[in-house]
Amino acid sequence: MKYVIVIADGMADEPLDEINGETPVVHANTPNMDFIAREGYTGLTKNVPDGMTPGSDVANTSIMGFDPSMLKGRGPLEAPSVGVELNDNDVAFRLNFINVKDGAINDFTADHITTEEADELIKALNEHFGDIGQFYTGVSYRNLFVISDIAMEDLKSTPPHDVVGQQTSNNNLKPENEKSKLINKLMEDSVEVLENHPVNKKRIEEGKLPANMIWLWGQGAKPVIGNFPEKYGLKGATITGVDLLKGISTYIDLDVIEVPGATAYFDTNYQNKVDYALESLKTHDVQFIHIEAPDEAGHEGNLPEKIRAIENIDSIILEKLLKELPNIDEDYTIALLPDHPTPINIKTHTMSPVPFAIYSTNIKTPDDTQIFSEDMSQGKYDTIIGHTLLNEMIKISKE
């Protein structure tokens, strides 16, 4: 039996007037999603426990089969993917390159700065602030800062995508103490280093937004989550363009499959993702396929791109999986779900349970759901806890 979990990051949404009161996934042309829902079992899954922030770290750890209460922040989850091994006293921050205008966060991605440009800016930050901590290049605007001071873990930070348009000074790390003052000043001082950097001068000449400030958030120490092969007795792998997911996978001993063209944006290479997934399944029992594009569209409030991303997942990834999986193993189970909602009108994550559908060659009598949507009230399941999804898939495979 082969298991495939397709994570359409941020796909769940709310009804929109622009598309006649439908949600993007209902409005989109999704025959393969609808097939999985119609011929399988459906329900809702609560990937974000009460009291936790609806971040991708929490939600995806749930989907990968572990209780996210074990997490200690988003930053340390991204460390392994950039080759950083944290020591016991280290605290890792997620570092966004952002664009600030009139003291407010104007763009939390710095106009999707390239990785090559980010690398040059990271070098400059290390030259100026290397005595405080170390800066590491990630992918595009997503980077890392590590400081050796475990007390930093207790500070409260704010994701920049939650406060676009707000003054940076109103969203500093809290509570105000010696530790928070150090980090807040570091962010403020980064402006002087970045604004006149050649990378940003060139970006301005090209009509792009400059990456004129860093934003530090999601900090934490090295977590102990669990071991996937030991817990499930299965060998698993992950395909994603996002360092966060690569980091989670590394900590729980899932193999990370590097895919050319996996950009974690609208232009990600869907075809390569499914091709590499099918090849990976020849040597792995479980394959996670994560697609970031719907989430990015939600954060930007970009409805056409969200619909296009959903349709690409359906027509490229799901269609080929359903066609080719029988050639690898005649027995297989596929689950499709978002990690969390990222509604177009809200532009950030929400805590609502998300829809899921499971199709398996072992399912003989599907439930009454006819299409994949946020409303799975006619499904087999009511609402399950996120980290039990894989167990449900395994139960179905043994029916």
Spatial distance between the Cα atoms of 10 and 350, rounded to a whole number of angstroms: 9
**pLDDT tens, position by position, 99-120:** 999 999 999 999 999 999 999 9
- Does one domain contain both 266 and 366? yes
DSSP string, 219-262: EEPPP----HHHHHS--EEEE-S-HHHHHHHHHTTPEE---TT-
- Does one domain contain both 210 and 357? no
Which pLDDT score, from 0 to 100, does residue 199 have? Answer: 98
Which pLDDT score, from 0 to 100, does residue 74 have? Answer: 86
Q: Judge whether 79 lies within some domain.
A: no
Domain range for 230 is 2-71+224-397
Task: Tell me the C-alpha to C-alpha distance, in Å, between residue 289 and each of 5, 175, 235, 240, 245.
Answer: 6, 38, 15, 6, 10
Which pLDDT score, from 0 to 100, does residue 399 have? Answer: 80
- Does one domain contain both 382 and 250? yes
Q: Judge whether 6 lies within some domain.
A: yes
Q: Which of 188, 220, 252 is the last residue of a domain?
A: 220
- From the centroid of its chain, how far is CA 270? 16
Residues 6 or more apart whose Cβ sits within 8 Å of residue 209: 99, 106, 107, 110, 111, 203
* High-pLDDT (> 70) share of the chain, %: 100
Band of pLDDT at residue 29, cut at 50, 70 and 90: very high
Spatial distance between the Cα atoms of 241 and 257, rounded to a whole number of angstroms: 10
- Does one domain contain both 148 and 56? no
pLDDT at 319 over 90: yes
- Does one domain contain both 135 and 249? no
Q: Judge whether 193 lies within some domain.
A: yes
With 0-12 / 13-18 / 19 or more C-beta atoms within 10 angstroms meaning exposed / middle / buried, residue 388 is middle
**H helical segments located in the chain:** 24-27, 31-38, 56-63, 75-78, 115-129, 178-195, 198-205, 228-232, 243-251, 270-280, 293-300, 303-312, 319-328, 389-397
Q: Judge whether 214 lies within some domain.
A: yes
Band of pLDDT at residue 73, cut at 50, 70 and 90: confident
| Domain CATH code at residue 55 | 3.40.720.10
- Does one domain contain both 49 and 115? no
**pLDDT tens, position by position, 142-167:** 999 999 999 999 999 999 999 999 99
- Does one domain contain both 16 and 91? no
Spatial distance between the Cα atoms of 194 and 184, rounded to a whole number of angstroms: 16
- Does one domain contain both 176 and 216? yes
- Does one domain contain both 257 and 376? yes
**pLDDT tens, position by position, 355-389:** 999 999 999 999 999 999 999 988 999 999 999 99
Q: Judge whether 387 lies within some domain.
A: yes
- Does one domain contain both 197 and 244? no
- Say if residues 381 and 37 touch (Cβ distance below 8 Å): no
Average model confidence (pLDDT) for the chain? 96
Band of pLDDT at residue 72, cut at 50, 70 and 90: confident
Crossing angle of helices 115-129/198-205, nearest 10°? 150
CB atoms < 10 A from the CB of 19, how many?
A: 16
Number of structural domains, the chain?
2
Q: Which of 197, 220, 243 is the last residue of a domain?
A: 220
111-118 contacts at long range (C-beta below 8 A, 24 or more positions apart): 111/203, 111/208, 111/209, 111/211, 112/140, 112/141, 112/265, 113/140, 113/141, 113/203, 113/211, 114/140, 115/139, 115/140, 117/199, 117/203, 117/211, 118/143, 118/211
Mean pLDDT of the region 29-53: 96
Spatial distance between the Cα atoms of 347 and 94, rounded to a whole number of angstroms: 20
Q: Judge whether 277 lies within some domain.
A: yes
Residues 6 or more apart whose Cβ sits within 8 Å of residue 396: 41, 333, 358, 360, 362, 363
Task: Tell me the C-alpha to C-alpha distance, in Å, between residue 138 and each of 79, 95, 125, 241, 390.
Answer: 9, 9, 14, 11, 30
* High-pLDDT (> 90) share of the chain, %: 94
pLDDT at 320 over 90: yes
Mean pLDDT of the region 53-71: 94
Spatial distance between the Cα atoms of 349 and 342, rounded to a whole number of angstroms: 5
Q: Judge whether 304 lies within some domain.
A: yes
- Length of the chain (residues): 399
Q: pTM value?
A: 0.84
Sign of the torsion angle spanned by Cα atoms 86, 90, 91, 94:
negative
With 0-12 / 13-18 / 19 or more C-beta atoms within 10 angstroms meaning exposed / middle / buried, residue 20 is exposed
Which pLDDT score, from 0 to 100, does residue 224 have? Answer: 87
- Does one domain contain both 171 and 316? no
Q: Which of 194, 220, 246 is the last residue of a domain?
A: 220
- Does one domain contain both 263 and 315? yes
